[in-house]
Structure 1
């Protein structure tokens, strides 16, 4: 598709004179445009749900989730992937993000890197996608335009395997949509600044990625109610949060929750110890039997 024909490249008639507005009016206009993003994401919720269910099933069978993109899209993928291991205590390689140009592109623009489909395929292969028994892997290709060659090359490579492919774009009927098993396309329309997809399209992308990673973790048992029971306790703030999570889940005060955390070593173990009145060894054995799914364990044993 010709770039000029993309909605993300169109000129926004509402902001044609934004450079002449008083600052507060300028901000109101930007805010009005940003308010449209959530509505665009609402329309594609069924597609997001389909993706979450499919990824969760593959996670339960040992699969991993890969993100690939260029520029803003690639950076958003890296951001989401990097936050999941400490939030949900999953192995670092469960969420793997690749950006065109490599890690230096996180800080320094490397737009020319996005023009090579061969490099996209090569980078995905080098990351070990769908190799060595990992046929249950999933690839999410991210590009607001839906036509980035680097991402298209990666999607084509992924389709050679029994992997799941998902296209996350912000335009209708894109090339990437046709190259993936599932298409998620919140249509955010012309940008506030013509072609600056770090704005509305970037916001929509971030919302969708948040939903996917959080939804998959909920579906695979990393959450109890709305509590992050898989969270790592790697600093004082997180230890305090962990104690409050244990207190909320069990009804004990924070001092007792602190003792339970110290004795159990992890939030989940501490909760099981208190809820089932058992010691750490027995709690860990029960969690292992339920593959770490605290909700499933307690629903069956209380």
Structure 2
């Protein structure tokens, strides 16, 4: 046994929840009511970490703007949630596939199957991060609801060694993780309905925080205009319809006119909007967007250049 296996009693995620001690005698309706009441506490726990989450968003956006990456690392549920968030960034924000990366203990097989002992190997995390060339330009978010997972601790230690910015995400306060990072996010959700089953409230809190980190950073990078998803490529019918609707809403064009204008602009929503609003050719609109790092609002509000 290693020291990582000790002191589970001090972790709120491992304590028994008095409200669910008779769980196996409850009706389905009672189980639903109990779980709903417990889940209602999650948003409050996440809200308490707002300042740390906002700081993390600023750090991530700054690193991404400088060519770095956002990398999540975790084991089990934590690792799966990191991979999920990373995989959803390209279709949502048209981000390069390698800009947000999820690393999970045990590799791809661990996404659908438990890999025995994978979380207990800190040296595996170093190997996995070396395989994706973690560098000083990157941000590493170590996700471990317990705050003590050796795989994650090993990864964060390596991140500090190479100069990457290390952020910790756990659901226990004053954890080992907090002593291994530059910034700690710790929504304390309390004991789980099933003792130690951190896929429940802790998993929900983790998903909420990851939503905020990736979405907040992408918004800061200009991936939205207001709350509209303007940095998308129409790769299926739903996204094509959304693209037409966004162009129509922001230009006043009919859906049919928006569709024709989009086609002239290679299907790019931002280019179509800038070209119409600024009365520019698609090529000039693309150049203007490039000059303002893709921020649509800046492209629309920047002074008209004298060509």
Taking structure 1 as the reference length, the TM-score comes to 0.97
CA RMSD for the aligned pairs?
A: 1.1
CA distance in 1, matches of 2:243, 2:116: 41
Give yes or no for contact 2:82–2:102 (8 Å, CA) kept in 1.
yes
Deviation for aligned residue 1:111: 4.1
CA distance in 2, matches of 1:41, 1:16: 25
Give yes or no for contact 2:134–2:162 (8 Å, CA) kept in 1.
no
Query: Pick from 14, 17, 24: which aligns with 1:12?
Result: 17
Query: Pick from 289, 292, 298: which aligns with 2:291?
Result: 289
Task: State the partner residue of 1:154.
Answer: 155
Runs of 4+ that moved beyond 6 A: none
Task: State the partner residue of 1:103.
Answer: 108
Task: State the partner residue of 2:93.
Answer: 88
Pairwise mapping of residues 194-233 of structure 1 onto structure 2 (< 5 A)? 194-233=195-234
Task: State the partner residue of 1:270.
Answer: 272
Pairwise mapping of residues 1-302 of structure 1 onto structure 2 (< 5 A)? 2-130=7-135, 135-265=136-266, 266-301=268-303
Deviation for aligned residue 1:301: 4.0
Taking structure 2 as the reference length, the TM-score comes to 0.95
CA distance in 2, matches of 1:272, 1:221: 14
CA distance in 2, matches of 1:259, 1:108: 47
Which stretches in structure 2 are left out of the alignment for 5+ residues? 1-5
1:244-297 deviation digits (Å, cap 9, x = unpaired): 111122222211111111111201101101111111111111111112111222
SS at match of 1:174: coil
Give yes or no for contact 1:188–1:204 (8 Å, CA) kept in 2.
yes
Give yes or no for contact 1:70–1:111 (8 Å, CA) kept in 2.
no
Give yes or no for contact 2:292–2:299 (8 Å, CA) kept in 1.
yes
